[in-house]
């Protein structure tokens, strides 16, 4: 509910402010207030994962313009190499305040798998 | 050289660097937030008639920004290009993986760096915690010193 309001307001923020830290950060993740409880629904998780992926602008604008769904594969569809995928997963870890064990992280290849893992992790918030 | 181990080392490095950079990034965001709020409020005062709904909303969103608690501000390390170029050009990890060369020493080194960064960060946090005066400005220190003996600095 509030997220959508924030998202509208974020569209008008000039991109100059977003590039402060070297890499642009998607403004709606900056400005969104956190109103959710510890139990995340899958929709929320996938929305936030997609926001993080869009903020990961290494191969922009290829990623920014792509339609990201749960079937999207990091390597095949987004064109990320193995090191990019590692960086992206660390960013997602940071967003949800969890640490994905190495063994699990090696097997995460698509957006859907990542969302499933986070939704099943009770520590994610 | 095992690809999975290289990726584990890389993941560890990224995590360690991200955490290491966090305090300074939080400070920078705080400064930026302050500057933006001042700027927007100034321009609002300058032309009160033209004050746009958009700029009001922008001001509101900057005011709501919470650099200390909002983790999503710092999801990526500032620059991973250098790290990647070292991996690619100096260590040539892809070739070594392909040829199955032994590179345990390099990996050991990477894990040592991770430990160093984590411990250095912890050390700095402890130094800050045990010396709360370190971060005060000179004026603040003078004021507090005066307060200790029951005085106030002249205004």
Cα gap B29→B27, rounded to integer Å: 5
Interface size A-B, in CB pairs within 8 Å, comes to 87
Phi, psi of A76 (to 5 degrees): -70, -50
**Mean pLDDT, residues A41-70:** 78
The answer to whether the CB of B114 falls within 8 A of the CB of B8 is: no
ipTM entry: 0.76
B58, B71, B76: best mutation site toward chain A, by most A Cβ within 10 Å?
B76
A82 or B116, greater pLDDT: B116
User: Hey, what domains does chain A have and what are their CATH numbers?
Assistant: 1-35 (no CATH), 39-125 (1.10.1200.10)
Question: For chain B, which residues make up each domain, given as ranges?
Answer: 3-148
- Residue B50 above 70 pLDDT? no
- Residue A117 above 60 pLDDT? yes
Cα gap B85→B88, rounded to integer Å: 5
pTM here is 0.73
Cβ atoms within 10 Å of B16's Cβ, excluding its own: 20
- Residue A69 above 70 pLDDT? yes
Cβ atoms within 10 Å of A79's Cβ, excluding its own: 14
Q: Count how many residues are written for chain A.
A: 125
The pLDDT assigned to B79 comes to: 81
> Would the CB atoms of A30 and B65 count as touching at under 8 Å?
yes
**Quick one: pLDDT band at residue B133, thresholds 50, 70, 90?**
confident
A105 inside 8 A of chain B by CB:
yes
**Mean pLDDT, residues B71-92:** 83
DSSP string of A76-87? TTT---HHHHHH
């Amino acid at each position: 509910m509030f997220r959508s309001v924030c998202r509208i307001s974020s569209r008008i923020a000039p991109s100059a402010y977003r590039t402060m830290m070297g890499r642009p950060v998607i403004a709606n993740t900056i400005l969104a207030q956190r109103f959710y409880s510890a139990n995340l629904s899958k929709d929320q998780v996938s929305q936030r994962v997609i926001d993080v992926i869009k903020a990961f602008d290494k191969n922009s604008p290829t990623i920014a313009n792509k339609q990201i769904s749960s079937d999207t594969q990091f390597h095949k569809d987004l064109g990320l190499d193995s090191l990019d995928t590692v960086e992206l997963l660390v960013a997602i870890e940071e967003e949800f305040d969890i640490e994905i064990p190495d063994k699990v992280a090696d097997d995460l290849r698509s957006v859907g798998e990542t969302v499933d893992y986070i939704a099943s992790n009770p520590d994610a918030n | 050289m095992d690809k999975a181990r290289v990726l584990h080392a890389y993941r560890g490095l990224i995590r360690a660097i991200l955490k290491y950079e966090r305090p300074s990034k939080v400070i920078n965001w705080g400064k930026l937030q302050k500057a933006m709020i001042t700027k927007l409020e100034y321009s609002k005062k300058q032309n009160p008639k033209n004050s746009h709904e958009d700029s009001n909303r922008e001001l509101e969103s900057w005011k709501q920004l919470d650099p200390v608690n909002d983790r999503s501000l710092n999801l990526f390390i500032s620059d991973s290009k250098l790290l990647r170029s070292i991996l690619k050009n100096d260590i040539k990890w892809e070739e070594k993986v392909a040829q199955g060369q032994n590179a345990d020493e390099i990996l050991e080194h990477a894990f040592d760096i991770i430990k160093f960064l984590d411990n250095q960060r912890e050390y700095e946090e402890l130094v800050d915690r045990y010396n709360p005066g370190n971060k005060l400005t000179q004026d603040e220190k003078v004021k507090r010193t005066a307060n200790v003996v029951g005085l106030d600095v002249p205004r």
